[in-house]
Chain A
Amino acid sequence: MHRKFPTYLQYLKWSFVNFLLLIGLLAVFFSPAGLGTSKVFAAPAPKVRVMAIPTFARKYGLPCSACHTAWPELNNFGQVFRDNGYQLMNERDSPIWQNPAYFPITFRITPNWHRESTDNQAIDSTPGGSSSGSTVSGRVTQAGFDLSGMDLWSAGTLYKNISFVLLPSSDPTAVWHFEAAWVRFDNLMGSSWLNLRAGRFELDNMISEKRFLFLSNNGGIYQIYHFNAPGSANNFGYGDNQIGLELAGHSKNSYTRYSVAVLSSNEGGVNFSTDVVPGAPPAGRSYDVNLAFSQAFNGGSLGLERVGAFSYIGQRSTYYQTAQNGAEPLVGLGNKPFYRVGVNGDFFLGKLELLPLYMHGWDNAYLGNGVPANGTLPEGAQAPTFNGGFVEGHYYVSPQLVFLGRYEKVNVGTQANIANPSSYGNVTAYSVGYRWYPIMFSRAGLAWHNEYSISKSIGIVPESGDGTGLPPLSLTNGVWSSSLLFGFDFDF
Chain B
Amino acid sequence: MTLKSLLVAIVLGSSALFSAGAMSCKAQSHVNSPDPSLGTPSVATESSHVGNLTGHAEAGKQLYRRFCIGCHGPDGNGEGMNAQWIDPKPRDFTIATFKCRSTPTGTLPTDQDLYNAITRGFVNSNMPSWEPLTTQQRTDLVAFVKTWSARWAKEKSGPVLVIPAETPITIESVLHGRQLFQKMECWKCHGPGGHGDGPSAATLTDSKDNPIRPYNFSTGARFKCGDTNQDLYRIFMTGVDGTPMPSFADVIQPGDAWDLVHFLRTLQEMDSKEASLWKAYVAAHAADIKPIGPDAAGGQ
Show the binding face of A for B, using Cβ within 8 Å. 15, 17-18, 21-22, 25, 60-63, 65-66, 75-77, 79-80, 88-92, 113, 115, 143, 252-254, 298-301, 303-304, 398-401, 436-442, 448, 450, 484, 486
Contacts and interface: CB of A to CB of B under 8 A. Distances in A.
A381 B130 CA distance: 55
A77 B11 contact: no
B132 to A, nearest CB: 4
B29 A63 contact: yes
A90 B124 contact: yes
Contacts of B211: none
A400 B70 contact: no
A399 B61 CA distance: 12
Interface in B110-149: 121-137
Contacts of A80: 131-132
Interface in B1-59: 3-4, 7-8, 10-11, 14-15, 17-18, 21, 24-25, 28-29, 59
Nearest to B131: A253
Nearest to B29: A440
Contact of A66 (B3, B66, B121): B66
A394 to B, nearest CB: 14
A17 B4 contact: yes
B2 to A, nearest CB: 11
B52 to A, nearest CB: 11
Given A90-B123, A143-B3, A441-B29, A79 B132 contact: yes
Interface of B: 3-4, 7-8, 10-11, 14-15, 17-18, 21, 24-25, 28-29, 59, 62, 65-67, 69-71, 81-82, 85-86, 121-137, 219-220, 222
Nearest to A484: B7
B194 to A, nearest CB: 16
29 contacts: A17-B4, A21-B8, A22-B11, A25-B11, A25-B14, A60-B128, A61-B126, A62-B70, A62-B71, A62-B128, A63-B70, A65-B65, A66-B70, A80-B132, A88-B121, A89-B128, A90-B129, A91-B220, A91-B222, A92-B126, A253-B131, A298-B134, A401-B25, A438-B25, A440-B25, A441-B28, A441-B70, A441-B81, A448-B17
Nearest to B10: A486
A77 B121 CA distance: 13
Contact of A438 (B24, B82, B219, B222): B24
A448 B126 CA distance: 30
Contacts of A77: 67, 130, 132-133
Contact of A299 (B69, B125, B129, B134): B134
Given A61-B71, A61-B126, A63-B70, A304 B29 contact: no
Given A25-B14, A89-B129, A254-B132, A65 B124 contact: no
Contact of A91 (B59, B81, B123, B132): B123
